[in-house]
Structure 1
């Protein structure tokens, strides 16, 4: 009789890294490009200038997202590496103290002291650094920093998000451009929020409303600024 079986449940936490970067990039792509297009259109620029501005915004935004995400996540990765190196040194210098520290963590989580000591001993025999990384430092494979993956996901998703309002800009008639771009962009944002919430296991309506509201606010403010400065210039 088999006493143990392989864990086959699927959880959504393993999607956090790429989902965060992808949703953030696509949301920024739609909001930034649509706001840029609407703001320039409100300033009474020509259709060609508006489209060119949107394309420039796509390229600049994608590069900015990639660079920013890479630097940010790489800083997290550097911190994790430094913490793991320090923990490795402490395990080599005083393993008994580290075992007591790990047991104290389990006691604080609800285990009896004797059982906590047994768990700490067995886990450290199996993988001492892994046990301390996970339970003391909060570092695991699921949540570990991956700078290149995050940068590529952010840049690609920003570009995809930007293409949507750009397509609306290219196809919309010049007289109703602001309305077409704003309306389609808000629709895209609602769909993005709903899909992201569905994948992450959250409420679909709440997710859709959240991104749509902030997108509408950003486009409204940018259009106001464009109209104001367009009139002045």
Structure 2
């Protein structure tokens, strides 16, 4: 009798990138928008070129630290919640295995399996890895989507710094008398490029992503310029 050999079909899904991609896109987008908006605001307030450059540098450093701290705290809170849920599930599996089996069976029935098949699937999965089965199918916690605080913090801080460095370079290189249009135009171009790259990696429509980030970035710079012009004074 011939033995059957099953070879796993290797596939790469875009959700594998979702953890770092979300933090990286958010960080770079925020870096470009916040730094460019700061530059536009102080430029509209008639600040000196040196003051504008100092503002951009300070915005980069403060923003990167803020992004890292915010991501670490928020994602760590998510990780703590996941750990608490897993610990509670571990206790329930040890004290009420039959009830947990019925719960998993009911989940598979709701997903379309016949009752007897759902029972068998639940039994086999629990025999293999009971906690993993309940974490995945009951709690929605998987290896791909699980919270990684340090990864999110580093990705956000690094990507923010990269994004913020782009308008900073423009400030350093652009002529003082044309700094405002240079900052606005290049920031929109950077945002459009970021939207296109993020869409390409994530497999989403590029035009929609480009339009979304460019629109909100332009709106942010426009509002900041208005505030700077309203409250600014001649340096």
Given the two structures, how large is their TM-score scaled by the length of structure 1?
0.98
- Show the counterpart of 2:144: 142
How many Å apart are 1:3 and its aligned residue?
Answer: 4.1
Structure 1: which 5+ runs fail to align? none
- Please report the RMSD computed on the Cα atoms of aligned residues, expressed in angstroms: 1.1
Q: Which residue of 1 aligns with 2:212?
A: 210
2:199 aligned with 1:179, yes or no? no
- Return the offset for 1:5: 1.4
Check the 8 A contact 2:45/2:234 in 1, yes or no: no
Separation of aligned partners in 2, 1:136 and 1:232: 62
Equivalent in the alignment of 2:78: 76
Aligned ranges 1:27-176 → 2 under 5 Å: 27-176=29-178
Query: Equivalent residue of 1:79, what SS?
Result: helix
1:9 and 1:62 mapped to 2: Cα distance?
35
Q: Structure 2 CA distance, aligned partners of 1:162 and 1:125?
A: 51
Kindly indicate whether residue 29 of structure 2 is the aligned counterpart of residue 21 of structure 1.
no
Structure 1 segments, 4+ long, off by >4 Å, are none
Q: Quote how far apart the aligned CAs of 1:7 are.
A: 2.8
Shift, 1:231, TM fit = 4.2
| Cα drift, residue 57 of structure 1 | 0.3
**Hey, what's the Cα distance between the residues in 1 that align with 2:11 and 2:187?**
37
TM-score (norm 2): 0.97
Cα distance in 1, alignment partners of residues 158 and 233 from structure 2 = 36
The answer on 1:221 being equivalent to 2:223 is yes
Q: How many residues align?
A: 233
Match of 2:13? 11
Structure 2 Cα separation of the partners of residues 7 and 38 of structure 1: 52
* 1:6 CA drift (Å): 1.1
